[in-house]
Structure 1
Amino acid sequence: MTRAIFVISLVLKTIISATHEANIKVQVEQGWLQGEELELVTGDGKYFSFKGIPYAAPPVGKLRFKAPQPAIPWEGVRNSTQHGSKCIQFDIFTNKLVPASEDCLFLNVYTSNLNPKVPLPVMFFIHGGGFESDSGNVDNYGPDFLVGNGVVLVTINYRLEVLGFLSLDTEAVPGNAGMKDQVTALKWVKKNIEKFGGDPENITVFGQSAGSVSTVLHMVSPMSRGLFKRAISMSGVPSCDWAMAYQPKRRAFVLGKQLGFDTTDPENLLEFLQNVSAEKLTGVSPNVLASEEVSNILKMFHFAPVVERDFGQEHFLTENPEKLLMEGKVSQVDLMIGHSTSEGIGDLILFEDTFLKTYSQYAELLVPTKIQVKKNPEEVFKLSDMIRKHYFGTKSISKDTLQEFLDYINDSAYGYDIYRYINLLSKVLKRNTYVYKFTAVSTRNIYGKIGQKYNFTVAGHLDDTAYIFDPKHANLNIDKKSKEYKIVTQTVALFTNFAKYGNPTPDKSLGVTWTPFNNNSEAYMDIGEDLTPGQNLDADVAAFWKSVFDKAGLEF
């Protein structure tokens, strides 16, 4: 009798489980999706996960380099328990080809409630990686913390490097295919997110590094207008030297020549490049400046967003982003923007021998590329001397001045450009702008940890993401009594409060009030183990670099 009861109980549990799994289905525009229910890493509950959802047609064959086309409907129920393929890429940290595919335009949706009484705010994340690598997968961007705080999270893949950002300056391939992928994903979310419990009228676009640059570009792009309500920019703006393409058409023809096809005809080049294997278009270095032969990662990536020529078709960007801002041509959205303490720590340690040697030998490298390409060598050398004296005094650039070099990287490649954009945006946005500096340090600082070899204890580039996401590859423990858990809890609260209310501190629950930025007080929040309000962020950095640009006769 006991055995019979056990068997019946087991059968009932199996039936209930199967019925429950069958209910984790959502019907979107293209068809039915089968998701799954997963445990939050914090142990505080569960969430629904839908991975590998196609938001556009596979960009292969004659669609290579072109604007994305609508997603293809499917028959039956599509299994959405596994990620779709990553976009083909070389990992910028390991410099190795990542198992991936051209058929990679997938997104992932995570939610705690498929049928909430009130639709949940949506957070749409754009990954970084220099427009060259990474994906929206849980390897780096596990959703647990955010969905546990009452938002729907969407992460995406978009085409990278040559496949995503080739520009032939033609109507067929004007550039920005990867940016148009992002817009297409946003449009998909706008149409379908209600089915996952999300609010299509309350979407926050946010991103880190290249994803941060993308976020700011969406604010000025006519294609993105009306698709989101709020934006969070983490460590990158379009004026950073590495953020926008330089001489993209010329670079495209250099690429063809490197691959054995020397032509001046863009149509012939397109036909050739559409028939080259995707692997041959990955990890390439079609340099157009001699300086790129010795230094690239801080100065520019080979393929990135471009200012397109207006061919009368729908376009992502046809004017310089700064010009658009100065003319007030920006989406009126709430904004949260900032950067980490030591953005360059990963670059410095990973490439220290190359950096120290080349920057010591070639003085002009200290000068931002946007100045170098507009001034003659004599003027560039004078500016270089000015910069070197400010950061290094009479010391040489060597392993004995790593801290000084780290400060230089942080300020020149990130800090001043972000400061300038904050001031530009604050003048034209009619909504609140919240500025932060991320200073938290703990065992979750995966990238800043590299600096421990040299006794640097800092928050580096990408470190902030580990406090709003759970990077599954890192197996980071969360002890609810730990410092790490405290920082995660308050950081996630800031980000999700902003997504919900347009205000990171809408009440007294975090013990502080985050005052919006204005050009008088220049208020900001220091996000560390504690939350500390401040004023005049990076004022000394801003004053020095303004003097450099003034001496160069350039407004920016």
Structure 2
Amino acid sequence: MMFVCLSREEPVSGEEVIVETSQGELLGATSTTADGTHYFTFRGVPYAKPPVGPLRFKSPQEAEPWKGQRDARQFATRCLQEDGGSEDCLYLNIFTPQLGPNSNLPVMVWFHWGAFAFGSADLDPGHLMDLGVMVAEENSSDLVTVVNKVCINEFAAPSTRILEGFLSLEGTDVPGNAGLKDQVAALRWINKNINQFGGDADRVTLFGCSAGGSSVHFHILSPLSTGLFHRGISQSGTATDPWAYIEQSQSYAFRLGRNLGLQTEDPQELLDLLRNVPADELEAAVVKLLKPDEKTRYYIFPFLPSLEYSSRTEEPFLAQHPDYIEHHGNFNKVPYITGVNKMEGKFSIVSDPTNNDVSQLSYWETINSDLERVVPVDLGLEKGSPESLQVANKVKEFYFGDREISLETKEQWIELQSDILFNVKTQFTVRQFANRSNSTYNYHFTYNNSAHTQEMDYLFYQDKVVGESSRDANIANYIGTLWANFAKTGVPLFQGGVKWEPVSKSRLYYLKIDDKLSLEEELEKERIDFWLDIYNSYQKSGLTFSPVTGRLDGEL
């Protein structure tokens, strides 16, 4: 879905409005925020054909034109996931305080969080519009920008497939990464149509949180996205995080088939059968696919972005390992912001996939009885191997010393989970980009010891900000203004504040975002250096990381 901030003129509440797109006319509406800001809304705008029937699992197809006016006053259904949704979900939502093709406002496209397994872009943009922010959402995307109650940005985001977006079968018309290609299709739609809503197609900024942040990074690495965007922001997620990428998932596709009673070893036959399974049955089977010990490694399910099988009919979104692409510098060198929150791993003690009650001794006994759950899956080590056991023991000693992993050492457990799942690979990417770009910015969001995704409370306001003089409002002003100025110019500026310097080969700067902004160096240096040594010593890819600049050597 897509929100778009388009001008300084305000619509009159209750009006209907018509905009012409490449597919036909859209009938939108107007709305008013609680603080009295008026804006136009266009909801449920299709950017691709519904991926149903023979199009299930396939790469997106361009949306059909329509005759007459299309009613765009209601949200479309979110994409299919465990608690509902629909396969027919490839739509944009657009919200804008003004219309007009000559506004040339910067565009922000938001990809939402959800581990490539759940979530939607159902965020209310009203708070942002009160602050002059433009937001664009897909069913898996949203956007934001704030500058002194003046609307300066346009935002857009596409709804993309979750369950059915990452099946990959060799020798079929489903090579993989359809969900990421949905986002490419949405970006192409934006490139073609956004000027009708006042946006500048030459100033498109992607941003997202968690899986959305990983999506942004994937687009930076993909040749399919070249020229469709011009800056990127990854909040708490990169393409190289161990939960965001899998080498191949075809074996899980066959397991899924067997669980559904489909007995075949032929990829094409499996695909034909899966296309005829009712959508709700397919979703229910996927949710139950992983075994408990596998959930400790994948967390949700294993249909993720991956290397694609060769196809005669389409170009791949991802033809090489993300680390390999970064190593060789074969990525879109656009201005880039990436960072993490202080306590990313806090969610691991409230949403563990195998046991939710951390106050029970059994929870911690389970962890201590299976220390190899702390071995990142992307090291490529076989569980039970001498190398895997060595890594597990080194990790235990580094974070806990001679203490047990328990409720009393939960802070160390949170640090460990933060590092494994988010911090380490984000900092590896920062070091890689420092060698290839002079416009990469790193941040650490430490306000109130924020956990995973909690920075969104301030970016989107939600229920956090209680008044313009509150601490929360101050933080919202920081992050909103930095993000907005980055979308405008490619440089994250905050007037009267510290200058946010980009990283370089010799100086790994990062902006600490708290009650005050401060420029620091070498985020969590001791912990990152520990993991640099682990990856250099044990990763099976053949790549090595320099402890000084994070430079990769060797080949995959």
Asked if Structure 1 and Structure 2 have the same fold, meaning a TM-score greater than 0.5 normalized by the shorter chain, the answer is yes
Contact 1:258 1:286 in 2 (8 A): no
1:536 aligns with 2:518: no
Identify the residue that residue 35 of structure 1 maps to in structure 2.
28
Q: Does 1:151 align with 2:153?
A: yes
- Distance in 2, Cα, partners of 1:383 & 1:141: 48
Change in 2 beyond 3 A, CA 1:479/1:389: same
What is the deviation of 1:375?
7.7
SS in 2 for 1:51: strand
The CA deviation string for residues 481-513 of structure 1, in whole angstroms up to 9 with x for no partner, is 2222111112100000000011111xx624221
For structure 2, which runs of at least 5 residues remain unmatched after alignment?
1-10, 135-145, 545-556
Distance 1:44 1:493 in 2: 21
Distance 1:259 1:142 in 2: 45
Give the letter aligned to residue 360 of structure 1: N
Aligned to 2:531: 545
Residue 552 of structure 2: aligned partner: none
Larger relative helix fraction: 1
Between the aligned partners of 1:381 and 1:110, the Cα distance in structure 2 is: 52
The CA distance in 2 between the partners of 1:191 and 1:267, in whole Å, is: 35
In structure 1, distance between residues paired with 2:450 and 2:335: 26
Say which of 128, 141, 153 aligns to 2:113: 128
Give the aligned partner of residue 550 of structure 2: none
Counterpart in the other structure of 1:526: 512
Question: Which deviates the most, 177-186 or 517-526?
Answer: 517-526
- Aligned partner of 1:308 in structure 2 is 308
Cα RMSD after superposing both structures: 2.3
Question: How many Å separate the matches in 2 of 1:476 and 1:383?
Answer: 40
Give the Å deviation of 1:171: 3.8
Contact persistence 1:295–1:358 (CA under 8 A): no
Pairing partner for 1:108 from 82, 93, 111: 93
| Closer/same/farther in 2, CA of residues 519 and 137 from structure 1, 3 Å limit | same
**Counterpart for residue 423 of structure 1:** 431
Contact map agreement 1:180 1:316 (CA 8 A) in 2: yes
2:325, 2:331 within 8 Å by CA — same for their partners in 1?
yes
Q: How many Å separate the matches in 1 of 2:195 and 2:467? A: 34
- Alpha-carbon distance in structure 2 between the residues aligned to 1:439 and 1:477: 17
Instruction: Report the 3-state secondary structure (helix = DSSP H, G, I; strand = E; otherwise coil) of the residue aligned with 2:19.
Output: strand
Cα 1:369–1:200 change in 2 (3 A) is same
Q: How far did 1:114 drift?
A: 1.4
Distance 2:325 2:460 in 1: 33
Corresponding letter in the other structure for 1:467: Y
2:368 partner amino acid: S
Residue of structure 2 in register with 1:241 after alignment: 242
Aligned-pair CA distance for 1:48: 2.2
Indicate the residue corresponding to 1:454 in structure 2. none
- Rounded to whole Å, the distance in 2 between the matches of 1:287 and 1:371 is 23
Verify the 8 A CA contact 2:509 2:522 in the aligned structure 1.
Answer: yes
2:88 aligned partner, one-letter code: D
Quick check: which has more Rg, 1 or 2?
Answer: 1
1:174 aligned partner, one-letter code: P
8 Å contact 1:326–1:428 — kept in the other structure?
A: no
| CA-CA distance at 1:410 after TM superposition | 0.3
Of 481, 500, 515 in structure 1, the residue corresponding to residue 501 of structure 2 is 515
The CA distance in 1 between the partners of 2:465 and 2:504, in whole Å, is 39
Residue aligned with 1:350, SS: coil
Question: Cα distance 1:402–1:45, how it changes in 2: closer, same or farther (>3 A)?
Answer: same
For the 8 Å contact 1:340–1:439, the answer to whether it is kept is yes
Give me the whole-angstrom Cα distance separating, in 1, the residues matched to 2:118 and 2:88: 15
Can you list the C-alpha shifts for 1:298-354, whole angstroms capped at 9, x where unaligned? 5x7311111102224222111111111111111121101101111111222233547
Residue 443 (structure 2) aligned to one of 436, 447, 451: 436
**Residues 241 and 413, structure 1, Cα contact 8 Å, conserved in 2:** yes
Superposed counterparts of 1:85-100, under 5 Å: 85-90=77-82, 97-98=83-84, 100=85
Residues 395 and 200 from structure 1, CA distance in 2 versus in 1: closer, same or farther, beyond 3 angstroms? same
Alpha-carbon shift at residue 403 of structure 1 (Å): 0.8
Aligned to 2:416: 408
Q: How far off is 1:380 after superposition? A: 1.0
Is it true that 1:54 corresponds to 2:46 in the alignment? yes
Q: How far is 1:428 from its partner?
A: 2.0
- Alignment pair present for 1:464 and 2:455: yes
AA aligned opposite 1:469: F
Change (3 A) 1:476 1:364: closer
Contact 1:143/1:153 (<8 A) preserved: no
Q: Distance in 2 between matches of 1:324 and 1:171?
A: 25
Bigger shift: residues 179-188 or 137-146: 137-146
Output the amino acid matched with 2:364: L
Distance, in Å, in 2 between the alignment partners of 1:270 and 1:432 is: 43
Query: Equivalents in 2 of 1:272, 1:465: separation in Å?
Result: 40
| Structure 2 counterpart SS, 1:138 | coil
> Distance in 2 between the 1:486 and 1:344 partners?
25
Q: Which amino acid aligns with 2:15?
A: E
Q: 2:399 aligns with which of 382, 386, 391?
A: 391
CA gap 1:141/1:44 in 2 versus in 1, 3 angstroms: closer
Aligned residue among 18, 24, 29 for 1:25? 18
Amino acid at match of 2:429: Y
TM-score, structure 1 as length reference: 0.86
Of the candidates 352, 374, 385, which is equivalent to residue 377 of structure 1? 385
Matching residue's letter, 1:158: T
- Residue 545 of structure 1 aligns to a residue whose secondary structure is helix
Distance 1:357 1:544 in 2: 26
Unaligned runs of 5+ in 1: 1-15, 91-96, 442-457
Q: Provide the TM-score with structure 2 as the length reference.
A: 0.86
Give the alignment partner of residue 486 of structure 2, picking from 498, 503, 511: 498
Pair 1:218–1:553, CA change in 2 (3 A): closer
Counterpart residue identity of residue 526, structure 2: D
Aligned residues: 506
Percent identity of the aligned residues? 34
User: Would you say the 8 A contact 1:254–1:286 is kept in 2?
Assistant: no
Which aligned pairs between 1:212-361 and structure 2 lie closer than 5 A?
Answer: 212-283=213-284, 284-285=286-287, 291-292=293-294, 295-298=296-299, 301-312=301-312, 313-351=314-352, 352-353=356-357, 356-361=364-369
Residue in structure 1 matching 2:69, options 74, 77, 83: 77
Instruction: Report how far residue 127 of structure 1 moved.
Output: 0.7
**Residue 87 to residue 357, structure 1, CA distance change in 2 (3 Å):** farther
1:422-448 CA-partner distances (Å, limit 9, x unpaired): 11122123x41111011123xxxxxxx
State the shift of 1:532 in Å.
Answer: 1.2
Measure the CA separation in 2 of the matches of 1:491 and 1:396. 38
Evaluate the alpha carbon distance shift between residue 482 and residue 535 of structure 1 in structure 2; reply closer, same or farther with a 3 A threshold: same
Q: Distance in 1 between matches of 2:412 and 2:112?
A: 29
CA distance in 1, matches of 2:343, 2:126: 21
Q: Deviations over 1:95-148 (max 9, x none)?
A: xx13x1110001112223213754100001111100011112226997535225
Residues 492, 44 of structure 1: alpha-carbon distance in 2 compared, 3 angstrom cutoff: farther
